[in-house]
Chain A
Amino acid sequence: MGCLHSTAAREFPGHENPVKLASETAFSVSEVEALYELFKSISSSVVDDGLINKEEFQLALFKNRKKENLFANRIFDLFDVKRKGVIDFGDFVRSLNVFHPNASLEEKTDFTFRLYDMDCTGFIERQEVKQMLIALLCESEMKLADDTIEVILDQTFEDADVDRDGKIGKTEWSDFVIKNPSLLKIMTLPYLRDITTTFPSFVFNSEVDEIAT
């Protein structure tokens, strides 16, 4: 059956319905359509199959399909909601939703927790933080003395690991982020507010908006 809306919006064969995605996220239907333009260009860049694989993700992010990066891998894994090794359009929209300026602090905090909990144990262990810190230093060829690394780790856990069990749990992470809001800076993409200007889909496709106005 369907109401007037859904038959008037663009259909994306093989992908989730934009009206449904809009209803579940902070994006409007025309913003979802704009994201589809972006998705199409990324997902066809190496293999034209309507899905974003790891190489295509790397190409989009770094403009270099071969560039491997620990953190980009984590992001990719989190976007790959169904654990299929590829990101489909629904995954793409729902994941980017967390980066929307209007998404909740809670959603952003939860995303970063899962991001940094690399081995998915439900805790961010000191060893994991050390590994990530070293990866960052390597990738940027920034040099820090071993003692300095330990001091930074000590400082971090002093701040975040309130019950002193050597690992950061979800609640500790939430509290820590509230004290250090700049840690969520990476979780907001102002671009998402202007997405329809950056990726305009053609006028004759946005029938929902025409009906509304």
Chain B
Amino acid sequence: MSIEAVTETKWFKKSLETSEFKPNVLESDDRLGKLRSDTITAFDLISLSAGLDLSGLFERRKRKETRFTATVSAEGVVEKAKTIGEKLGYRVEKKKEAMALGLGKGRTTVMVEAVELVEGLVVAEVKVVEGEEEEEESYWSELIVEFEEIVLSWHSDVSVKVESDLA
């Protein structure tokens, strides 16, 4: 997909919207969705830092989330997520945004999103947006392991490793 074509998608156009919103659970933390690869600036990338996400101050526990560089295209990531979801018994909900997918099981909802940051570099994010602790634990490890085959490298700052790494 060319950079121009990507910027024509509704998802990238969303990056022009300013922030006032009533957080819909599935749109709540759309940091990846804000990136437009033709005009990406250093600050767009810098804004992704976990150190600049103060929402952690208000959360009693860390919600499971991870980011990785993919070996496939953004569409490939979404396709894979759909396959995994179906295999593990999740309800699959294609989002209005081009490269995003919601997976639901029990009381847990997981968002999968992918974007081509610059040509050839695809970054994907998998994150639990709703769920309770015990369910989240078991669902997460089973889910994440399925993504391995399309992962080039996990991004360690936001990754919650399968083994607990609490201080």
Q: Which of A's residues lie within 8 Å of B, judged by CB?
A: 38, 42, 59-67, 69-75, 99, 101, 116, 129-130, 132-133, 135-137, 139-144, 148, 152-153, 155-156, 159-160, 180-186, 188-191, 195, 198
Contacts and interface: CB of A to CB of B under 8 A. Distances in A.
Interface in B1-49: 15-21, 23, 28, 31, 34, 39-49
A133 B45 contact: yes
Nearest to A168: B43
B52 A140 contact: no
A152 B36 CA distance: 12
B19 A62 contact: no
A64 B34 contact: no
15 contacts: A62-B62, A63-B167, A69-B51, A75-B51, A99-B54, A137-B45, A140-B48, A140-B157, A148-B121, A152-B42, A159-B39, A180-B43, A180-B44, A183-B41, A190-B21
Interface of B: 15-21, 23, 28, 31, 34, 39-58, 61-62, 67, 69, 118, 121, 123, 153-158, 165-167
Nearest to B29: A185
Contacts of A72: 50-52
- Which of B16, B28, B48 neighbours the largest number of chain A CB atoms within 10 Å of its CB? B48
A181 B69 CA distance: 26
Given A60-B57, A181-B19, A188-B19, 20 more contacts: A61-B51, A61-B56, A63-B166, A69-B49, A71-B52, A116-B43, A116-B46, A136-B46, A136-B48, A140-B157, A141-B153, A143-B69, A148-B118, A148-B121, A152-B45, A180-B43, A182-B44, A183-B44, A186-B53, A195-B58
Nearest to A71: B51
A185 to B, nearest CB: 6
Contacts of A182: 15-16, 19, 34, 44, 47
Contacts of B123: 142
B58 A189 contact: yes
Given A62-B56, A72-B51, A140 B41 contact: no
Given A42-B57, A155-B39, A181-B18, A64 B49 contact: no
